[in-house]
């Protein structure tokens, strides 16, 4: 007996389901299901009993003001060639990382599990508490302080923040400049916090 042909309405539902984005989820290990995984060695254990209550938004581009390529991943995995660009000589020795990177096209990359401490905040404090790396998740946006971020980046960031909030008791989402004022300026005036908040208020995600 041959299967019953699908009706036009059933076919439309199947197409809609196929086109719908998968839900972004952070599992118990702190791994985001939709992120490309590139493990950074620049990580360690959080202090015992430390709850993840802060999310920090950063901006990064390598070389400065240029987008694309693998320089950010190379920096976070200690493989950046200091001779590849004049600006790399002063940073190639750094041992830094972030939990996530959102590329200009909205693609999500994860370098450190959320259960681990990434080395993204540096000397920092929030609400009187120092060493923000201990209790925060760092999200890098590929961008620059004075260049508009892309729609796909805001969309992915909103989805990621929602997923992280479903897993951890995040109390605040702030910029790097908020936890290290005078030392850091990112994500800069080009970042539209109101736009992120509108996306966060949407039901989807």
- Show the tokens assigned to 104: 């200009």
Is the torsion defined by CA of 58, 35, 158, 104 positive or negative?
A: positive
Whether the CB-CB separation of 90 and 75 falls below 8 Å is answered with no
C-alpha span between 127 and 179 (Å, rounded): 9
Q: Of the listed 10, 51, 130, 140, which one is catalytic?
A: 140
- Annotation says 142 is catalytic: no
Within 22-126, where are the H helices?
71-76
Whether the CB-CB separation of 60 and 140 falls below 8 Å is answered with yes
Q: Which residues are catalytic?
A: 140
């Amino acid at each position: 007996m041959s299967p019953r042909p699908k009706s036009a309405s059933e076919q439309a539902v199947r197409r809609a389901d196929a086109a719908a984005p998968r839900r972004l989820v952070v599992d118990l290990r702190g791994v985001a299901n939709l992120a490309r995984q590139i493990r950074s060695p620049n990580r360690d254990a959080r202090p015992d009993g430390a709850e993840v209550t802060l999310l920090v938004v950063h901006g990064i581009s390598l070389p400065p003001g240029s987008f694309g390529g693998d320089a950010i991943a190379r920096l976070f995995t200690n493989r950046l060639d200091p001779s590849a660009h004049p600006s790399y000589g002063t940073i190639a020795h750094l041992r830094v990382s972030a939990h996530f990177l959102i590329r200009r096209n909205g693609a999500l990359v994860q370098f450190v599990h959320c259960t681990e401490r990434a080395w993204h905040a540096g000397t920092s404090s929030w609400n009187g508490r120092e060493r923000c790396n201990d209790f925060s998740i760092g999200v890098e946006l590929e961008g620059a302080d004075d260049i508009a971020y892309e729609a796909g980046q805001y969309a992915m960031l909103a989805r990621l923040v929602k997923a992280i909030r479903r897993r951890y008791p995040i109390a605040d989402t702030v910029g790097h400049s908020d936890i290290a004022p005078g030392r850091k300026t990112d994500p800069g005036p080009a970042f539209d916090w109101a736009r992120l908040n509108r996306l966060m208020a949407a039901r989807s995600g």
